[in-house]
Every structure is written in structure tokens, then in C-alpha cells.
Amino acid sequence: MRAIDIITKKREGIELLESEIEWLISAYTNNEIPDYQMAAWLMAVLFQGMTAKETAALTLVMAKSGDMVDLSEVPGIKVDKHSTGGVADTTTMILAPLVAAAGVPVAKMSGRGLGFTGGTIDKLEAIPGFETTLDRSRFIANLNKYNIAITGQSASIAPADGKLYALRDVTATVESIPLIASSIMSKKIASGADKIVLDVKVGKGAFMKNTESAIKLAETMVNIGQLVGRETVAVLTSMEQPLGTAIGNSLEVKEAIEILSNRGEPALRDVCLTLGAHMLVLSGKTPTAAEGRKQLINLLNSGQALQKFRDFITAQSGDSTVVDNPTQLPQARFVQEITSPGQGYVTAIDADQIGFAAMRLGAGREYKGQVIDLAAGIVLQGRIGQYVKTNQVLATLYTNDETRLKHAASCLNQAIKLDELPVSAPPLVLGIIN
């Protein structure tokens, strides 16, 4: 086969054969095809799209380009959850112990954050002593003993996706639904998930800015799951404003403890219950999402979910006393309150700007490999629709670098908009696709 023929075919909108996609991706991964030809093919895909069959073939060849994790030593149906990325999205840290407490094994490989969406691995590292790199035997042993293990994603998971993503990033070919869908699904499949729950974020602070494109992405991923035999359900959730109140690693651990303690921000709790309920249904634990939700609420009420979080921390060498004493988490030396310049109803909290401000405070990475300030970030006080008075605190900024406060404060002031007229809070869960 020749790369030029496959590029030409895609350029003309002709469906590629599975064998052609397999050959192209394997050859590229083995450095047998130059970046310029792969870039041309990616751009052709961006304009012509891919059929469901092509997208599934691409997903599988990327998944199989590296290790395929085998979790058959762990009994039960392993359900993984993936979020397309948002601001103040602490769901994984909450869902993992919550669903594990319900008796479903949660085996997760998570990533680090880049830009203003934080990675679960970074967040967990805010817990003193917590080990985010588990070898295979410890990963399996923890799963069998506690139903829960989270480890950093190794470079040997879907390396073809890593190489392609780096090329897409510099050739303006990230924004293609089949390419995004196959990229996400290839990593989930290689990580060993039997079934997958996807949290597809929609809105200002998300990859997908409108519901129409989010539905398209969700349908494409659910379809891939079906074609490759890994049942997938997608929940569309709003990222019009930050989901929780905390943005920043240590601050998000504290917020996860709040939710697991049966307190905390209702929106974040609600999204966790919705995603968790679908995980229970896929695992076969409960016949309906409504029953799954009831079971999860009981686990929050009884303290079992919080106990599972303590056990999980201990199992990964962390200090679980942070759960009862969150002041042991990294604390920022500089704290500044942002107060309301006037009175009125909150009409917008721009998640993008808030995420950017948190990154500027040191909570996120502006470039790969950057050391982050685990204590840095933002805690928000209001939500869209709420009435605030003049001088009322809208947010609190945390950092260990005082010089970063000024710029972050001005971002915050621009991100939160007030109006005399009331607005209603936007809906949180926009749809379920299965």
C-alpha cells in the first residue's frame, strides 16, 4: 500500500477499507510514513469525515498500538468513566470511591492536566504520600481487595494516539469529531474497560461549545463502543459555568471530601449521582438508573462512600487522616477575596476565564511538564441565578506566588457578570445517549 493512495481516496470522500486504515496507522506509528503525509490525511479526514466503520477501525488500531490491559483477574464487570474535560470537574475523585463502595470494581488510568482542565492524577498528588504510579501486581491486588485503583496512564497505552494527537495539535486537525471520538475511545479500550460511561461536557468551558456538536460526539463514541463490543453510555452535562465550587488540586480534594461526606455543591453532587447511576446499570448492579441513584445516595448517607475514600488513600500509601482534617492538604500562603462591585443576579460565570485564572494562580500547566502549585486555585461562592449584594464575596483566590494575584483577580472580575433582572439556573444534565 502507499500513503498517497489512501490520502487521495479520503480526499475524494471514498470510504477507506479497514486494512487501509490499519496499514496507515501502523506504518505511521513505526515511523515509516512522514508527518507531512499523515498531516495531509488528517486534514482530509477533518473535511470529509469518517463513516462509523472507518471510525471503529481507527479506534481499534490505535488501541492495539500498545499494551492492551487485561483485567480478567479482577472479577466483575469493569466500568470506566471518562470526562471530555471541564472546569471544577472533580467527578472522578468522587465517583471512583462512591461506585467502588457499591461493589463495582473501579480500575482507572488517569492523566495529568494541561491548560485549565485539571487531571485526576495531579489532584490525587495533593494528598500527602499518595502514590499515583502502581505496578500491575499492586493495581490488581488493590482492585481485588478494595474494588478501587487509580494509576497514571503509561506511555504504552495507545501510543499511536499520542503521536497522532501531537501532530493534530500543530496542524489544526484536533476539531474533528471522528478523530476526537477515536482518540478518547482508543485509550479507554486499551485500559481494559468492559463498559464505559462518558461525561460529554457542553458549553463555554468545554471542548464542545454547543449541544448539537456534543450530541454528535457522544453518538459517535457510543457507536464505536457498540461496534467494538464495549457497551458505552454518554451523559451530556452543562459546562456553561464551573461544575463544582473549587478549581485547583488541593481545593478539589477538599471538595471531593465534602461531597463524599454528604455535603457540598448540589450541582457537582447531582452530576456524580447521574454518572454513577449509569455505571451501576452497566455493571449489572441495578436494573435502572433511578435505583442506582438511590443506592449511591444511601452510600453517601451511611458514610460508606467516605470510608471507601479513606481506604483508597491508604491503599495507595497516602495519609487518609486528610479526610477528617483537610488542613493537612497543601495550603496557600496568599489568599485574596474577590467581592462584588455591585448588587444583582449572577447571569454568567465564564468557566473558560475562571479556569484560565486558576491556571495563572499556579493550579494548572501552561506547558507540558510544568511543576504546578498544588495549593493554588479558586473557590467560587455563587452560581448563575443567585442574587448577590455589593461587597459580598464572590470568590477566593489561593496561591503561593503573590505576584500572580493581580492578573487572576482581573480575570475573575470579568468572568462573573451581574444584571438587575433575574435569570434561571441552566439545566445540568442535558441528555443521555445510549
Binding-site partner at residue 89 among Ca ion, ligand URA, none, CB < 5 to 8 Å by type: Ca ion
> Could you tell me if 355 and 116 are in contact, meaning their C-beta atoms sit under 8 angstroms apart?
yes
3-state secondary structure of 139: helix
- Of the candidates 82, 108, 112, 188, the residue annotated as catalytic is 82
Cβ pair 397, 361 in contact under 8 A: yes
Q: Among this protein's residues, is 82 annotated catalytic? A: yes
Considering the complex, state which of residue 40 and residue 247 has its C-beta at the smaller distance from Ca ion: 247
CB of 59 to ligand URA, least distance (A): 11
Choice between 65 and 117, CB closer to Ca ion = 117
Catalytic residue among 65, 176, 183, 191: 183
145-183 residues labelled b (16+ CB within 10 A) or e (exposed): ebbbbbbbbeeebbbbbbbbbebbeebebbebbbbbbbb
Contacts (CB under 6 A) with ligand URA, residues 28-47: none
Nearer to ligand URA, 60 or 267 (CB): 60
Taking the complex as a whole, the smallest distance from the CB of residue 184 to ligand URA amounts, in Å, to 5
Helices 18-29 and 35-48, axial angle in degrees (round to 10): 140
CB of 86 to Ca ion, least distance (A): 6
Per rule CB under 6 A, is residue 183 in the interface with ligand URA?
A: yes
- Chain positions contacting Ca ion, by CB under 5 A: 85, 89, 117
Catalytic-labelled residue, pool 161, 194, 199, 350 = 161
Residue 239 lies near ligand URA (rule: CB under 6 A): no
Instruction: List the one residue out of 90, 121, 117 whose CA is nearest residue 318.
Output: 121
The one of ligand URA, Ca ion, none whose footprint includes residue 29, by CB under 5 to 8 A per kind, is none
Closest CA to 159 of 28, 257, 16, 264: 28
Q: Concatenate the DSSP letters of all residues of 52-119 into one string.
A: HHHHHHHHHHHHTTS-----TTS-S--EEEEE---SS--HHHHHHHHHHHTT--EEEEE---BBTBPP
Q: How far is the CB of 403 from Ca ion (least distance, A)?
A: 27
Say which residues have a Cβ less than 8 Å from residue 84's Cβ, sequence separation at least 6.
184, 198, 199, 200, 201, 206, 207, 208, 217
213 is catalytic: no
Q: How far is the CB of 264 from ligand URA (least distance, A)?
A: 27
User: In the range 149-178, which residues lie near ligand URA by CB under 6 A?
Assistant: 165, 174
Q: Is 161 assigned a catalytic role? A: yes
168 is an active site residue:
yes
- Residue from 180, 214, 268, 279 touching ligand URA (CB under 6 A): that is 180
CB distance 134 to 91 below 8 Å: no
Site residues for ligand URA per CB under 6 A: 165, 174, 179-180, 183-184
Provide the annotated active-site residues. 82, 161, 168, 183, 187
